[in-house]
Amino acid sequence: MHVLAGDVGGTNARLAIVEIGDGTARIREERDYPSANYHGLSAIAARFLDETGARPERGCVAIAGPVIDGRVQTTNLPWTIEAADVAKTIGVDRFHLINDFFAVGAGLDLLRPDDLVTLQAGEPAERGPVAYLGAGTGLGVGFRLWDGTGYRVYASEGGHVDFAPRGDVQIELLRYLQRKYGRSSNERILSGNGLVDLYGFCAESGIAAEQAAVAREMRAEDPAAVVTAHALAGDDALCERALDLFVSVLGAVTGNLALIAVATGGVYLAGGIAPRIVERLRGDVFRSALHDQGRLSPMVAKAPVHVVMNTKVGLLGAAGYAARH
């Protein structure tokens, strides 16, 4: 089956024709479009099909925002999208809109072994509960539970639960975030903006000194990317301390999520940040925070933990959803 799949964000809309069969997904055509240049999804989808000459049997697009009864008011774009309107425009009988992080959960079924990096092999239980999270622009959290015939995906707003600090440094971090934002969730830390706040906290608290050249670079470019690059290069102590703090909190949240879901089927780290820092996630900072779960530490040590390296997992999830519905 050939389906139209999409993953639409505030900056880019990625559309593809995907061949689904035998539990695999193959992208046959793929193009990106600047979202802000269009008045809505229908116009982008119509252009894509016109350019490729494709005639998909079904379609599904993942998009940021709550999808209710086939309708979504997009989070980062001035669009209101109706699935029925898109279906009529592109001429398909079945077209769906799904939340972008729901699509990530659906896409896990279509990943190949080389799409994953295993941080902890654990002791996987067949058909056991699965949890997944992804840090990027925000922090997404979801769950997959076996329903007797397959895994059912459950979206959540778990990224917005309260940040629970561990140790004196993180207690001071919480106070720093509370002064700036009031209530502070895990997303305030585990996101691109969160990494920048960690840099600011480490500078203000004297954990490491700020270099003027790095500060100028952050003003001129994406600041989170600058912090990550210098931390991984090991040429700026402040960036390194900020990333270490990020990794520690991510390890703790991953362990907490393993407990919440009793994730004997595994925990998957998706999103845009984890694949870029995977080597840091292999280290002791992440592992020690992951396992620091008190009396239930042995249970967390048995949960498989993987990083999703395939950044198109949401696109694949939308394609898989289209094929099944």
Query: pLDDT tens digit string along 138-176?
Result: 899 999 999 999 999 998 889 999 999 999 999 999 999
Q: What letter would DSSP give residue 236? A: -
Determine contact, residues 205/168, Cβ cutoff 8 Å.
no
- How much is the average pLDDT of 248-267? 98
Q: pLDDT band at 289, cuts 50/70/90?
A: very high
**In the predicted model, what is the mean pLDDT of residues 25-30?**
94
Residue 64 has what pLDDT? Answer: 82
Per-residue confidence at 11, pLDDT binned at 50, 70, 90? confident
Whether residue 230 contacts residue 239, with contact meaning beta carbons closer than 8 Å, is answered with: yes
List, in sequence order, every beta strand (DSSP E) within 149-254: 151-155
pLDDT at 205 over 80: yes
Given a cut of 90, whether residue 5 has pLDDT beyond it is yes
**What's the token pair of residue 24?**
């695999």
Say what the pTM is. 0.92
100 vs 277, higher pLDDT? 277
Residue 72 · residue 105 · CB < 8 Å:
no
- At residue 22 the predicted structure's pLDDT band, cuts being 50, 70 and 90, is confident
Domain ranges of the chain: 2-107+312-324, 113-309
Angle at 70 between CA 64 and CA 71, to 5 degrees: 60
Q: Provide, rounded to the nearest whole percent, the portion of the chain with pLDDT above 90.
A: 90
Phi then psi for 244, rounded to 5 degrees? -60, -40
Alpha carbon distance, N-terminus to C-terminus of the chain: 12
pLDDT for 75 beyond 80: no
Return the residue matching tokens 């894509």. 48
Query: What's residue 259's pLDDT?
Result: 98
Instruction: Tell me which CATH code domain 113-309 carries.
Output: 3.40.367.20
3-state helix, strand, coil in the chain (%, to 5): 45, 25, 30
What's the mean pLDDT when you consider all of the chain? 95
Q: Is the pLDDT of residue 238 over 90?
A: yes
Average pLDDT of the segment spanning 236-241: 98
Residue 66 has pLDDT above 90, yes or no: no
pLDDT the model gives residue 155: 85
pLDDT above 80 (res 45): yes
- What integer pLDDT is reported at residue 203 of this predicted model? 98
Residue 65's pLDDT is 82
What local confidence, expressed as pLDDT, does residue 295 receive?
A: 97
| CATH placement of domain 2-107+312-324 | 3.30.420.40
